[in-house]
A and B are shown apart, each in its own frame.
Chain A
């Protein structure tokens, strides 16, 4: 009976000229001025998402101007000669669109979601602000205040975010991952409009950008539209930032954050390779699986053992971003359960790491992580935005969108022995940094506080 159903579905897809394979295909173009264009068809609904990704973000910044990429992202809504301040948002809204932007360590991106017939509106205005931003000083003076409020909300008044910020600052000495995406408050205070003008001139050019379009569109028509609007833009001469490779860490580092809070918190980071930096390509995928073994759902080890069995942690997690542009951190974090301490939590987390080095993970655990990845590949197709995000990220960090297609196969190929091997090689004390939040009473005054890796949003 089920077979009948599959058969019918398949028939349907054929009738609609959208067999799954063709559907998943990404069309790739490049304009003469260097703009890369990726288009993916998805005809489930009459909508389109358009994202423009720039190769610039917090990790391109240097001391003294931290946060400039993010402030510039905010200023991108403050007008060109053609469209005054706020006009961009107003026009997109009037066309029933949603729009925003986000800044990460390795990218800055702008997006619009629209009914498919209105894509040209996005292209026209996005192309305009790629080269013709005005950056009025009075708008900057106000907007930098908004960003400071954003920093207060996300970081200054959030004890765990402050702790995470300090972890990165301690773990990375020479790498720009030392700095928070939103920038240090003192740097924000001294930022000037000329810093933004220079930053804009340097990075906002078609040959430093990727246009990603996913939705109910015809790739050739998208290319024509892109030619019309982005085609006339002049490319820039690009000078990439210095490599600033992180110097070797030679021993565990510890930082303490003392701020008014109610709960202690612990976050640990091991320096690990990512796809971009790995000597052996399988290693980041093995670390990805390792993260899944620890924190891929309720059956994963940290929930099962630390939260449910030992009941040492109220919650515990692990995280790893294999698509980072630079050497990154494999993170473990948690909040101790009632009557337990961060010291006990640290010991338990380290014991889990030791266990990964000693015993190969079980076949069942490995199968569960892989089952989730395989199913996830279907689930993620329900979101046009997510698909565009993946393509944009991969292209912008220089890995290329094809990695997205390879992901589940590469994860599926990881063996238990490889998981053990990366644990032994990289999750070692000499490459570990630990940050601990030690709560001060909420009732007392404290003065100065010194962000998270989550992207900042316009």
Chain B
């Protein structure tokens, strides 16, 4: 039976008609016995497997201790079950497996890439289960990693781009949990205790708060068994509570931070949209035209192509659980900073007033829909998508219907959405540099 199904999927990929409906990977979804949500795509072509376990345990859950979510995530592999950190590293690397972990504002995740041959996969997956379920957070490792994180905070202070980004989140989010930096502050890290990590893990690293994404050479039956094993050490627990809504900026915010750099980094923006936003497609396609698509976008054309003011100039919406940032940015030599910022503002105002031209809209749609096959051309890409679909609770046909939804966007819908959602009078403006 399995043979028949996969064979058909594969044939569909091969016989895909140009420009016609695009075959999306078939996403299978179920829950483990303790309540973790699993998303699986069978990809039998390469003898490997990608696993990602995502928890609603990003820095938005830090509370009064910025850096807590990141430290908890970073220390998962620093000793788990009966294995110390050296044993974990040695065993996984001895199996040729690749482990990585990261914490963002919404999510914290652990990913593992392994050969799918059971001789490698079984022991690697067993270690992964212990890492997410039975971390020990040894005190001496905690002390050491905190010091290292403090060093990385100092490294950021010599990077105008990092300084600007941190100030930007603070400016647009105020009291919202998204305001504080994922990697914490000097004070909050000093205040952190090992017991905070243990509590955080107990609360958030639970099955009801977890999404398991699997892409690779497994049958459904094998994937079910594997997912069950991976989350077995987790208690069922409960999902994380919903985050507060993001308030719009009360007015314009201006912040100029002097830095001894040859360039000034400029960021402009405000809270943008959520992953499940009703305006998602209009804002996404609109931003593609405004500054999201690199060459050909208005920002790139005006700032770089016509005037040579910057190497990189862009705008984006980062959709999150609550409204993620809408951000425009560039870096230019200090002498041209004022001119570049003025242009960036003008481009935005004009775009909001006029919306895209018909020609721009057609070109954007062609690019977005035409590049669909590239978005899902590797196991890595598919893993990213299904983890995202699972985490934000998007429909399983999200990929299948993606192009239709892009096609449905009109120029008027873009103009309308930008008018309602982006207020150029209430932008946060961050400038870092200027003191050469």
Binding site for B on A (CB under 8 A): 2, 5, 8-9, 11-13, 15-16, 18, 43-47, 77, 85-86, 89-90, 93-98, 113-118, 141-150, 152-153, 156-159, 216, 260-263, 296-300, 303-304, 307-308, 311, 314-315, 335, 337-338, 364, 367-368, 371-372, 374-376, 378-379, 381-384, 439, 442-447, 449
Contact = CB atoms under 8 A, between A and B. Distances in A.
Nearest to B371: A96
B295 A150 contact: no
B48 A382 contact: yes
B366 A96 contact: yes
B110 to A, nearest CB: 14
B76 to A, nearest CB: 12
B120 A115 contact: no
B377 A45 contact: yes
A446 B262 CA distance: 11
Contacts of A157: 159-160, 261-263
Contact of B219 (A5, A158, A367): A5
Nearest to A215: B377
A158 B259 CA distance: 12
B332 interface: yes
Contacts of B90: 299, 364, 368
B306 A142 contact: yes
Contact of B304 (A146, A153, A311, A447): A146
Interface in B298-331: 301, 304-312, 331
Interface stretch (B26-34, B62-70, B93-101, B419-427): B93-101
Given A2-B118, A372-B96, A8 B3 contact: yes
Interface in B339-382: 363, 366-374, 376-380
A18 B13 CA distance: 14
Q: How would you classify the secondary structure of chain B's contact residues: helix, strand, loop or mixed?
A: mixed
Given A115-B374, A157-B263, A378-B48, A149 B332 contact: yes
A151 to B, nearest CB: 9
A86 B18 contact: no
Contacts of A443: 260
B94 A96 contact: no
Interface of B: 2-3, 6-7, 10, 13-14, 16, 18, 43-48, 77, 85-86, 89-90, 92-99, 113-115, 117-118, 120, 144, 147-148, 150-152, 154-155, 157-160, 217, 219, 222, 259-263, 293-296, 301, 304-312, 331-333, 363, 366-374, 376-380, 435-436
Given A2-B117, A152-B263, 19 more contacts: A43-B13, A45-B378, A46-B373, A47-B374, A86-B295, A89-B296, A94-B370, A96-B374, A141-B308, A143-B308, A149-B310, A156-B263, A260-B260, A296-B93, A314-B148, A368-B93, A371-B96, A375-B98, A446-B260
Given A44-B377, A97-B371, A146-B311, A376 B155 contact: no
Given A115-B373, A152-B263, A153-B311, A335 B151 contact: yes
A98 B96 contact: no
A442 B148 contact: no
Contacts of A141: 308
A43 B14 contact: yes
B367 A93 contact: yes
